[in-house]
Amino acid sequence: MGTRRWMTMLAAGLIGLATLTAAVSSGTAAGEGAAARNKSGCFTDTGVEVCFSSPPHVPSDPTVLRRASTLFESAGPGDTIRVAMFRWDIKPPTEALLAAQRRGATVYLVGDDDLRLNRHGRRLIEGIEDQDPTRTNVTICDGACLPWRAPGPYPDSQDVQHLKFYLTDIGGVQSFITSSANLEDRQYRQYNSMLKIDDPGLYAFGLDYFTRLEAQSTKAGGKRWDDRDKVYSHGPITATVYPNRRDLLLDTMKDLSCPKGSRVSAMFAVIQRDDVRRQLARLSRAGCKVRVITSRDTIENWIETPQPTGDIPDDAVRTVLTHDKLLVAHAGYRGKVTDLVVTGTSNTTCGGLLYNDEVMVRIVGNRWLHDQYLAHFDDAYSRAFQGRSGVMPVMKPCRK
């Protein structure tokens, strides 16, 4: 793979935690109202912002991609923007980020080699470096930035820097931002989402991760990271970064139970892992109302196949043009009925777990946030269809 290039601010982190904890009980009415709307737009509540695109409702929906540009447009002298992006081939965020740097913001970029394959990506790389020659602002990774957590060889189209991840310190507000959307043209026509959390403790964790991406090594700042160090957990927030042998999504699903009225909704562009499929089937058998959206009808066929752990009804598994990666649940979680959301950059693939740079976030107990993501899922589900292909793919197990 080539050469690989926290103490967290606890007291400050408690400030961000307090704002997010307050959101657990606030915003309920707004969430219920939002659930009836088509989910295209950005919505905020006490230190948390979510943005959703709904392409069938708004053709070529710019909402999620435009939010990146407006974020850059708000930065100026003394501010810092860090971006880790897999693909970038559109003009608006390119112009906005370069303009922020010209206004005096400090800008850092970690990119996959894919950025060099189009003119906007090349212009971005060259412009950021040319406008600030006193430092190294851009890192292009050799495959994934961090070392694999599996023996290899990597699966097809994996070993990549697959992040859509932002760390911003703008106007004194430190934010950790993850999205399903690359900054590329085709994302205008796919379902996508973005989550922004203003929390200094989570920001500090993200900064440690970003530093290791830049160094292309888990050994940075005098301390080597192992998989335990790649997890931040404080109050309702847990974040996990990858490559990692442990998976936040799978661990969350294993801890779910199904009292009466429980529902679990999953929308992932790609689902290829049998452990995830079996957990979805288990929850269906246990009494949860399980619904699944994916982007390929061949994968739909695979998910619909009965498992030893249970069977998801075929009409509850659908296909739509989505690039999202999310799980939204109202169910038992570690023995208590609650609401939770898991989202981030990773598809449920072996690459997304063991070979790619990824980030996933879980927030537990926030009814408002749950309602926002559920409305987004319901929007996509209402426009999704039953697959038209009879092909059944073969999914290889992950090698740990």
Residue 1 has pLDDT above 60, yes or no: no
What is the Cβ-side half-sphere exposure of residue 289, based on CA atoms within 13 angstroms?
6
Query: Where does the pLDDT of residue 37 fall: very low under 50, low under 70, confident under 90, or very high at 90 and above?
Result: low
Angle at CA of residue 201, ends 197 and 204, nearest 5°: 100
Residue 80 has pLDDT above 90, yes or no: yes
The three-state DSSP-derived secondary structure of the chain is: CCCCCCCCCHHHHHHHHHHHHHHHHCCHHHHHHHCCCCCCEEEEECCEEEEEECCCCCCCCCHHHHHHHHHHHCCCCCCEEEEEECCECCHHHHHHHHHHHHCCCEEEEEECHHHHHCHHHHHHHHHHHHHCCCCCCEEECCCCCCCCCCCCCCCCCCCCECCEEEEEEECCEEEEEEECCCECHHHHHCEEEEEEEECHHHHHHHHHHHHHHHHCCCEECCEECCHHHHEEEECCEEEEEECCCCCHHHHHHHCEECCCCCEEEEEECCECCHHHHHHHHHHHHCCCEEEEEECCHHHHHHHHCCECCECCCHHHEEECCECCEEEEEEEEECCEEEEEEEEECCCECHHHHHHCEEEEEEEECCHHHHHHHHHHHHHHHHHCECCCCCCCCCCCCCCC
Please give the pLDDT value at position 153.
Answer: 92
**Mean pLDDT confidence for 199-210:** 98
CATH for 248-383 (3.40.50.170, 3.40.50.11540, 3.30.870.10, 3.30.565.10): 3.30.870.10
CATH homologous superfamily, domain 12-233: Endonuclease Chain A (3.30.870.10)
Angle at CA of residue 272, ends 268 and 278, nearest 5°: 90
**Mean pLDDT confidence for 183-197:** 97
Please give the pLDDT value at position 25.
Answer: 35
Please give the pLDDT value at position 38.
Answer: 61
The CA–CA distances, whole Å, from 217 to 225, 266, 270, 385 equal: 9, 32, 28, 43
Please give the pLDDT value at position 392.
Answer: 94
**Mean pLDDT confidence for 145-166:** 95
Tens digits of per-residue pLDDT, 315-357?
Answer: 999 999 999 999 999 999 999 999 999 999 999 999 999 999 9
What is the Cβ-side half-sphere exposure of residue 357, based on CA atoms within 13 angstroms?
32
Please give the pLDDT value at position 54.
Answer: 94
Which amino acid is located at 18 in the chain? A
The answer to whether 249 and 342 are in contact (CB under 8 A) is: yes
Q: Is the peptide bond before 77 cis (omega within 30 degrees of 0)?
A: no
Residue 16 has pLDDT above 50, yes or no: no
Cβ of 121: how many Cβ atoms within 10 Å? 25
Query: Where does the pLDDT of residue 9 fall: very low under 50, low under 70, confident under 90, or very high at 90 and above?
Result: very low
Please give the pLDDT value at position 294.
Answer: 98
Tell me the pLDDT of the chain averaged across its residues: 91
Please give the pLDDT value at position 167.
Answer: 98
Strand pairing of 192-198 and 80-85? unpaired
Strand pairing of 48-53 and 192-198? antiparallel
CA distance 136 to 216: 14
**Mean pLDDT confidence for 218-233:** 91
Strand pairing of 237-242 and 231-234? antiparallel
Domain boundaries, the chain: 12-233, 248-383
The answer to whether 182 and 248 are in contact (CB under 8 A) is: no
**Mean pLDDT confidence for 83-90:** 98
What is the Cβ-side half-sphere exposure of residue 9, based on CA atoms within 13 angstroms?
15
